[in-house]
Amino acid sequence: MNQSCLNYALTAEERKTFEETGYLIIEDALSPEQINELTTEFDRIYERKLSEGHDPRTALFYPNFIPDHESFLSLVDYEKVLPKVWGILGWNIYLYHAHMISTPPSGQLKNDGTFGWHQDSGRVNREIETHPRPRLSLKVAYFLSDVSEPDRGNFWVVPGSHLRDEIDIPVDRHGQPEGAIPVCVKPGSAVFFDRRLWHAGTPNWSTELTRKVLFYGYGYRWLRTKDDMTVSHLWEQSDPIRRQLLGAGVNCNGYYTPTDEDVPLRTWLKEHQPELV
C-alpha cells in the first residue's frame, strides 16, 4: 500500500463528526474519470439486468458486484477512503457486504408517506444484548449521480440516531421521524455511515434523473458475509492487504485470533500509523 494514502487519514474533525452524527460526507472522493468509468460499468450491469427481465420502473438492487469489473475492485482498498475506514473500525476488517442500487424516476406524485426507517444488520439488532447496539460495521456509499437536491431518491438519515436503539416513527404512516433529513450530495461524493444510523431509502420523484450508488460495507473479520461475495478467485491476483479485505485468512481461528499472516494491514500500520495498532 502506498504511503500516500496517509494523506487521507481520518482527521480529528472527521472523527468527531462521525461519532456525533453517525455519518460523514467526503466530497470529490472520486475523480471525473473514475465517475465516468464506474458509471459505464454500472450502466452495463443495469442493461444486462433489463435484458434478463428486470422491470425498468422499479429500483435495481444488485449485490456481489465487485467481481464484475476492475474499477469496482479498485475501490475495495481505495486510498482516499480506506484510511478513514480503518481510522474508525481498526485493522481487523474486511469487505463483508457490497451492493449497487439504481433508482429510476418513480413516476409517482410526491407524498408524505413515512419511509422505511431501519438500522442495518437485521437480527443483530434483536439478538445482541447491549445498549447502545454495537457498531460492528459501516458502509461507504459512492454516488455516481447528482443527488445534491432533495426528491431524487436521496437516502434520509436521523443524525445522531446511531446511539439510539429505537426512534419514534409516525404511527399513522405520514411524515418522518423528528430530525430526519435527506442526504444531498453531488456525483463523486463518498458518504460513510454507521450501520446503527437510522436511515431510509426514498422514492425518486424527479422526472429524468436515475440515482446510481455503489455501497461498500466494511466490518470485522469475524462477521459473516451479508452477500454471497464470490471474490476468492481474486485473492491470487491481489496484494496482501487487498486479500485481507476480500476475506482471505490462514484458517478459521484467524478470524477471531488473527496472526500477522491473517491481517497484513496491522503489520503495515505498525510501521506507518502505529498509534492505531
- CB distance 244 to 262 below 8 Å: yes
Provide the pLDDT for residue 233.
Answer: 97
Sign of the alpha-carbon dihedral angle for 106, 198, 247, 235: positive
Q: What is the DSSP string of 186-246?
A: -TT-EEEEETTS-EE---B--SSPPEEEEEEEEEETTSPPSS----GGGSTTS-HHHHHHT
Provide the pLDDT for residue 50.
Answer: 97
| pLDDT tens, per residue, the chain with 277 residues | 999 999 999 999 999 999 999 999 999 999 999 999 999 999 999 999 999 999 999 999 999 999 999 999 999 999 999 999 999 999 999 999 999 999 999 999 999 999 999 999 999 999 999 999 999 999 999 999 999 999 999 999 999 999 999 999 999 999 999 999 999 999 999 999 999 999 999 999 999 999 999 999 999 999 999 999 999 999 999 999 999 999 999 999 999 999 999 999 999 999 999 999 9
Provide the pLDDT for residue 221.
Answer: 98
Alpha-carbon distance of 70 to 40, in angstroms, equals 12
All residues at 6 or more sequence positions from 126 whose CB lies less than 8 Å from its CB, including other chains: none
Sign of the alpha-carbon dihedral angle for 10, 244, 266, 74: negative
pLDDT by residue (tens digit) across 72-119? 999 999 999 999 999 999 999 999 999 999 999 999 999 999 999 999
Q: Which residue in this structure is represented by grid cell 460495521?
A: 137
Provide the pLDDT for residue 245.
Answer: 98
Alpha-carbon distance of 204 to 223, in angstroms, equals 33
The domain segmentation of the chain, as residue ranges, is 3-276
pLDDT by residue (tens digit) across 233-264? 999 999 999 999 999 999 999 999 999 999 99
Tell the CATH topology of 3-276. Jelly Rolls (2.60.120)
At residue 96, what are phi and psi to the nearest 5 degrees? -100, 0
- CB distance 183 to 197 below 8 Å: no
